[in-house]
Amino acid sequence: MDNSTHFSTIILAGYIDIGNFKYLCFIVLILLFVAIIVSNQLIIGIICKEKSLHEPMYVFLCSLSVNELYGSIALFPSLLSNMLLSKIPEVSLTLCHIQIFALYTYASVEFCNLAVMSYDRYVAICYPLEYHRIMSPAMTVTLIALGWSVSVIKFSINFSLSVRLQLCGNVMDKVWCDNYMLVKLACADTRANNISGIIGTILTIVPPLSLILFSYAKILSVCLKSTREMTQKALSTCTSHLISLLNFSVGCLFEVIQSRFDNVPMPPVLRVILSLYFPICTPLINPIMYGMRLSKIKRALKKLHHGHLSRQSSSLDHWGSQMELAEEFEMGPSLSQFSPAGPLSIQKHALP
């Protein structure tokens, strides 16, 4: 269409004026961001350091935490900087494109990681004697690389169509850049984008969901044939994964409801909260939950904590011994009068 305009910025109109209350929200978001960074880095560091955690289950968890950091870094810096502005934030189109690519690939990789983790639990429960043969290091690396590469390549095709669009407007009713709303701002025919988006959505949801349903159907079948004790043990290993999967699914559902169904009556504050649940709660809850529920992770955390305390204790003991030597050195001349040989013998022993 001829009325297209070359916009170089996007106005994020999802931010609402809450007065001085925004400073409290800013502090809360900073604390959440720090908690996400620290908790996920701690999970990654412990898994990389502890040889007992070099198993497929924990390697997949490490990949999950890396993705949580990736998604959080794509969201929080711009979110925090835009909150303190006295006017409606306006971001460059390039930065908006970068954020779209990062958040959409984050969501796809997250779903792939959860699908692979469900398959890992299926092999561990249904084929325990062949687990290490099936989930070999090569297979583990292949599954992780496949999830990341397919997610990036798949969205890159859809993203390349969105980047070329000429926009008739630049106002987006969100607090972060969204590809669906960016396409809605286009002047040109977007049928190719819509078809590509539908295919991309199907490829993002159907294969991982099929693997998850297959894995848990097999796990449930084995549990029904096993003893009560074995069933409880099997289900306890899947609890953390099921909570992560449910939390991520709820977040995605919230995002679809508030962005795709514009006609649904909803207070602006609730719309913002639903929009932020998906990229904030998942990276925050996962490392805390896995750190609390998995026994090997808890033991590694305790070992790290005790090791830190022992290093502090040894450094304090060393400092104390140094202080005692210093005191003896200062008191040496005054104590020399009690030596049978007198001060001269102490002076001789002190000489090199």
Q: How far is the C-alpha of 53 from the C-alpha of 138, rounded, in Å?
A: 16
Amino acid at position 232, single letter: Q
Q: How far is the C-alpha of 335 from the C-alpha of 329, rounded, in Å?
A: 10
Residues 6+ apart with CB under 8 A from 26: 80, 83, 84
pLDDT of residue 17: 82
pLDDT of residue 308: 53
Q: How far is the C-alpha of 157 from the C-alpha of 265, rounded, in Å?
A: 34
pLDDT of residue 349: 40
Q: What is the tens place of the pLDDT at every residue in 281-336? A: 999 999 988 887 777 887 887 877 666 555 555 554 544 555 454 444 444 444 33
Q: How far is CA 308 from CA 304, 312, 314, 317, 338, in A?
A: 6, 6, 10, 14, 44
Alpha helices by DSSP H, listed for the chain, are 21-49, 56-83, 93-126, 131-134, 137-163, 179-184, 191-225, 228-260, 268-293, 295-335, 343-350
Question: What band does 142 get if pLDDT is binned at 50, 70 and 90?
Answer: very high
Task: Round the CA-based radius of gyration of the chain to a whole number and report it.
Answer: 29
Cβ contact 108:205 at 8 Å: no
User: Of 40, 118, 34, 116, which is closest to residue 282 (Cα–Cα)?
Assistant: 40
pLDDT of residue 334: 42
Q: How far is the C-alpha of 36 from the C-alpha of 4, rounded, in Å?
A: 41
Q: What is the tens place of the pLDDT at every residue in 21-48? A: 889 999 999 999 999 999 999 999 999 9
pLDDT of residue 18: 82
Question: What band does 166 get if pLDDT is binned at 50, 70 and 90?
Answer: confident
pLDDT of residue 273: 86
Token duo for residue 139? 């297979």
Averaged over 58-64, what is the pLDDT? 95
Averaged over 58-71, what is the pLDDT? 96
Q: How far is the C-alpha of 214 from the C-alpha of 244, rounded, in Å?
A: 18
